[in-house]
A = this chain, B = another copy of it.
Amino acid sequence: MLNRVRSAVAHLVSSGGTPPSRPKSPDLPKATSAPPAAAPEAPRSPPARAGAGSGAPARVVEARASFSRPTFLQLSPGGLRRADDHAGRAVQSPPDTGRRLPWSTGYAEVINAGKSRHNEDQACCEVVYVEGRRSIMGVPRDPSRGQGLCFYYWGLFDGHAGGGAAEMASRLLHRHIREQLKDLVEILQDPSPPPLCLPSTPGTPGSSDPSHLVSPQSCWSSQKEVTHESLVVGAIENAFQLMDEQMARERRGHQVEGGCCALVVVYLLGKVYVANAGDSRAIIVRNGEIIPMSREFTPETERQRLQLLGFLKPELLGGEFTHLEFPRRVQPKELGQRMLYRDQNMTGWAYKKIELEDLRFPLVCGEGKKARVMATIGVTRGLGDHNLKVCSSNLPIKPFLSCFPEVRVYDLTQYEHCPDDVLVLGTDGLWDVTSDCEVAATVDRVLSAYEPNDPSRYTALAQALVLGARGTPRDRGWRLPNNKLGSGDDISVFVIPLGGPGSYS
């Protein structure tokens, strides 16, 4: 049975077809029970909720009533069962035998402690070849420029309200990136600045000289310079959007469950692009120094964007929410009194007289891990969530979510890297209980216990990070050495060596 599902998934991956569809997980009972006012206990991941388009045929539902893990884990049916065991929470890594991940990348993951039926994190690691489209600039291709480009790709996808979106993104997002890069193969290999304008049809004969494509007459005194790097950034940004649009399309036929945060690394032509949409995190640890490579997108960090949208488009608030923020829920008896508030333009607080519409539930409420948009979701960027509605209401939340990542660029050629320099990617299961400094300390401790040329050291490091965040079962919970609770969430970690033995030249 499991094998059948895995074969079906493998087929889908190779065909790039529709994602697996699954029934609503029975372990998500809060679907429609809690009103907005019951927000304090709302989970950071919103409850699963079937949208209007949930019409997956029963046959498919039956075949997919399970889950999949990243293919590079090469899990046997028994391994898949262990990976799905909430009680044991065994840490999973690719086998020591068999083919290593590119660059000797380390990976480890563990399932949650019962928060959701399956591990809703997904991961992908691929080397992707991009074949250029023919004669993109309208000139016969210069054979000396080679035939295509390779990029290395790592992706972590932290699902919520079901595993469908994370699974789909892990199978397809790098393909969207590849598609976006196809037009750029020649341009990126040409040291001259990118042409601002291209002929309409690639390969159109006649529009011969690329230098003529740019009109010398410009209404601005100068043209804006666009770098090769910013083209790659734009390609990744648009790939995220197209992935999200594909999820929207396909949910009409087959339910794409929930949504997911996406943290993606692309290595191309000497540069590392880190794209983040959600609350996963990437840091570089270089010679012991921490270089943040992402920031989190949550109701707190994106408060002003969300409030501005609610202010400009009040119809999105459905008369149920106010775009104003209050430090706590306003009580009806406080009408006419003055309470602290913040609007979309403010970072400070001020007092305002409470009016009737201030009694509506605030668009953004709560703090830290309990912060929520519309009392429902704790992340504000990611893929999917097209069906997500406010509890006990038909109000869609998707308009407030952004599928666009923030992309940061790190030039690998600007610094001499040693084998202990790594890029660490983790889902929030890691970062909820582990600081950047603790990760850097673990990097130092674990890597120094291995020979610099031992390729298994990065997997050992990933496992140590996951174990350190999970803890051990003690006193009715998973606990860290300091006796605090470990993370009960799914935890997934990539450790990408930046100067290690897995050469990537």
**Residues on A facing B (Cβ under 8 Å):** 37-41, 180, 183, 194, 196-200, 213-215, 217-226, 229-238, 241, 308-309, 312-313, 326-329, 331, 333-334, 336-340, 342, 345-351, 353, 365-367, 370, 402, 404, 406-407
Contact = CB atoms under 8 A, between A and B. Distances in A.
A370 B219 CA distance: 12
A219 B328 contact: yes
A328 B213 CA distance: 13
B346 A404 contact: yes
8 contacts: A197-B340, A198-B351, A199-B337, A200-B353, A215-B331, A224-B328, A224-B367, A234-B348
Given A183-B351, A219-B328, A237 B345 contact: yes
Contacts of A229: 348
Given A312-B313, A366-B220, A235 B337 contact: no
A334 B197 contact: yes
Contacts of A198: 337-339, 351
Contacts of A200: 336-338, 353
A406 B102 CA distance: 45
A493 to B, nearest CB: 27
A404 to B, nearest CB: 4
Given A231-B348, A338-B197, A224 B327 contact: yes
A339 B220 contact: no
A337 B313 CA distance: 34
Given A237-B346, A339-B196, A347-B237, A329 B231 contact: no
B349 A231 contact: yes
B213 A337 contact: yes
A315 to B, nearest CB: 12
Given A217-B331, A313-B312, A349 B234 contact: yes
A237 B341 CA distance: 13
Contacts of A241: 345
Contacts of A234: 342, 346, 348-350
Nearest to A227: B349
Contacts of A213: 337
A348 B217 contact: no
B237 A328 contact: no
A209 to B, nearest CB: 14
A222 B371 CA distance: 11
A234 B341 CA distance: 9
B348 A233 contact: yes
Contacts of A312: 309, 312-313
Nearest to A313: B312
Most buried by B among A200, A326, A351, A404: A351
Contacts of A347: 230, 233, 237, 406-407
A230 B349 contact: yes
B237 A329 contact: no
Most buried by B among A230, A312, A333, A407: A230
Contacts of A339: 196-198
B365 A327 contact: no
Contacts of A338: 197-200
A426 B312 CA distance: 34
Nearest to A223: B328
Contacts of A309: 312
B219 A348 contact: no
Contact of A197 (B218, B225, B337, B342): B337
B404 A226 contact: no
A402 B345 contact: yes
A339 B195 CA distance: 8
